[in-house]
């Protein structure tokens, strides 16, 4: 008799759900998969627009006045950017230029939608034109946006 009761107990208990949370998982699984950290996936319109932060001519070229002498001219340029992604991580920008006058990487300020980088051209570069490229990384590099600016050294 005990063997029959034990067999019935095993059969009935094996048909039960394995966790009391199974009902909640079934109900909220779709909602959880579509929402991460308060943002609904697809709701963020990522932005990345570079700005030279100096005078601009009619052709869209930025004009940077260089300091005469042997010292470099320090200038901060940047971009308007979506500062965090759906994971709450700060946006990262990788900068490049055809000559080595800029820093390589910046992270967005979590309080404002901006990111900045420094350049340091020398006076001997007067009347040269450089193109500075930026690539913004969102969601750990899964989404990237590109932009560039042209700067003429005066």
- For the chain, 154 residues long, give each residue's pLDDT as a single digit of tens: 666 655 655 555 555 555 554 554 555 454 444 444 454 555 688 999 999 999 999 999 999 999 999 999 999 999 999 988 888 889 999 999 989 999 999 999 888 889 999 999 999 999 999 999 999 999 888 899 999 999 999 9
For residue 72, give the CATH number of its domain. Answer: 2.60.40.10
Closest CA to 150 of 132, 138, 134: 132
pLDDT in the model for residue 48: 96
For residue 37, is it left (φ>0), alpha (ψ between -120 and 50) or beta? left
Whether 146 and 103 map to the same domain: the answer is: yes
Whether 108 and 54 map to the same domain: the answer is: yes
Name the domain count of the chain: 2
Query: What residues make up the domain containing 17?
Result: 2-36
pLDDT in the model for residue 3: 63
**Rounded to an integer, what distance in angstroms lies between the CA atom of residue 110 and that of residue 28?**
30
């Amino acid at each position: 008799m005990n063997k029959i009761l034990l067999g019935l107990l095993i059969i009935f208990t094996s048909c039960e759900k394995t966790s009391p949370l199974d009902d909640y998982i079934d109900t909220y699984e779709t909602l959880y998969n579509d929402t991460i950290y308060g943002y609904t996936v697809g709701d963020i319109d990522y932005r990345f627009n570079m700005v030279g932060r100096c005078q601009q001519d009619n052709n869209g070229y930025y004009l940077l006045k260089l300091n005469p002498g042997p010292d470099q001219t320090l200038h901060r340029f940047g971009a308007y950017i979506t500062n965090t992604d759906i994971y709450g991580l700060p946006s990262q920008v990788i900068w490049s230029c055809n000559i080595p006058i800029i820093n390589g990487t910046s992270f967005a300020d979590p309080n404002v939608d901006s990111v900045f980088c420094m350049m340091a051209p020398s006076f001997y570069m007067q009347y040269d034109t450089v193109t500075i490229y930026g690539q913004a990384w969102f969601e750990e590099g899964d989404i990237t946006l590109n932009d560039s600016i042209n700067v003429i050294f005066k």
